[in-house]
Amino acid sequence: MVGQYLDRQDLARCVRVSKSWHASFVPLVWSTIWAYDEHFKIPGTPSVEAFLRHSHYIKDLNLDIDAPQEFSLTPCPNLLNLIVRFYRFKQSKSIDIIPVEIAKYEQLRSLTILNGCSNSERVIWKPVHYHNLSELHLNLLEIEGTTAFWVLCSQLVSLKLGNVSVDEMPARSITFDRLQHLNLRLKSQNPIEHQLDWITQCSNLTSLNWCYSTDIDDEHTSRIMKRFAPGTWPHLSELSLEGIEFTDAQLARVIGAMQDLKSLAVHTCKVGSRFLKALRHHSQTLISLDTTSCEVLTRSLVPGILTSFPHLETLYVQPVMCEDIIDSPPWVCEDSLRLLYIGFLVTPNQDAEYNQQVLQRISRLTNLKEIQLVRGPRGASTLDLTLENGLEHLATWERFENFYLFTDTSRFSARDVEVWIVIVLSISIPVYDLGGVEC
């Protein structure tokens, strides 16, 4: 019970205390193992001998494809979660990335295959029988043997395909009734109509994250919108769309077809009054909203969001006019909001008083744990976070943990930084996105 709260270093210390402690803590030390190629030189990577001796404890295995062969050939009878990684340190031809020695683990629940290279690696998918497999995650891969692959996918609960190409989409005779969570980013060689036909076959989805990387015309957008009719996915409560440019009216119809929406992320769409009206039908269930890359059609959108969703925990919005924040009615999400990503549009004629009023308003988010302040559009600066301009208002954030600042040239005194450290546990100022920060 104690061991589950300790890191690996402390667990290793506990193992050395006594024989009884050794017996209690060794299974925890070996429950999660990283087996990398020697190029990584990662501390804590076990020796082959130690791996062989403790393999029966391993439940989670992170395996580099170029690691010593003993790591993939050694039976791990209790293995539940497997991550296989390509880093291509060695020259090798396309191979079957799922060796028979690993595929025989019928108890496996989660399988992840990641390619860390920029080029896709060809994978020859053979029929395997993972009777308990429920989660599959593939990245930067080209799949051959699609029939066997789709048959395996039909038993999954969660499927994530990132920059993956397949020779063909599944036959209509294959059902995907078990699939609840789908994260899909296929290569453009798979036409959007074929992808949409398959997604429609997954009738029990509760979450859909779909990214289409190639531009599509208005006709295809209209076809996609029509598929989001009531009853297509009756259980869908989490939706993320990227690369699909819905209009305000189209997006409103998509949202209107959903029941009990919990999470919504839309990119490159137009959001306005119709979108907000449809979204308000989910005021009691919505907990996460992301419209950062959308074209905002009305300035009342952000105030409308802040005053309509009492259970909102995560909000990504930009741009936001300072006066819209100051003059808006009370925010119903003041107690619920945990993460705020916001880009203020600060105009040159707005003085320090405006800055103070905005900081005073967001200081009411008493349960906020993280804020990310980004530049507004057209390179406009974000808020001035100095004591001179109202930084002390943020001292009300007692639960605050992370502060991310993406800004233009700013000057901070030692006292400003001192107050930041008192307010937050972690501060990040990404230098790659700065015109310059001086402290």
pLDDT in tens, 38-51: 665 566 678 889 99
pLDDT given at position 136: 94
The model's pTM is 0.86
Task: Mark the ranges of the chain whose per-residue pLDDT is less than 50.
Answer: 89, 93-94, 99-100, 430-439
Residue 435 is predicted with a pLDDT of 42
| Cα separation, 259 vs 231, whole angstroms | 10
Amino acid occupying residue 310? P
Exposure string over 221-231, b if 16+ CB within 10 A, otherwise e: beebbeebeee
Ramachandran region of residue 41, left (φ > 0), alpha (ψ -120 to 50) or beta? Answer: left
What is the distance between the terminal CA atoms of the chain, rounded to a whole angstrom? 45
Q: What is the pLDDT of residue 119?
A: 61
Q: For position 439, what pLDDT does the model report? A: 46
Model pLDDT, residue 120: 63
* pLDDT 10s digits, 120-155: 677 777 777 778 899 999 988 888 878 888 998 999
The closest alpha carbon to 181, from 166, 202, 195, belongs to 202
- pLDDT at position 219 is 80
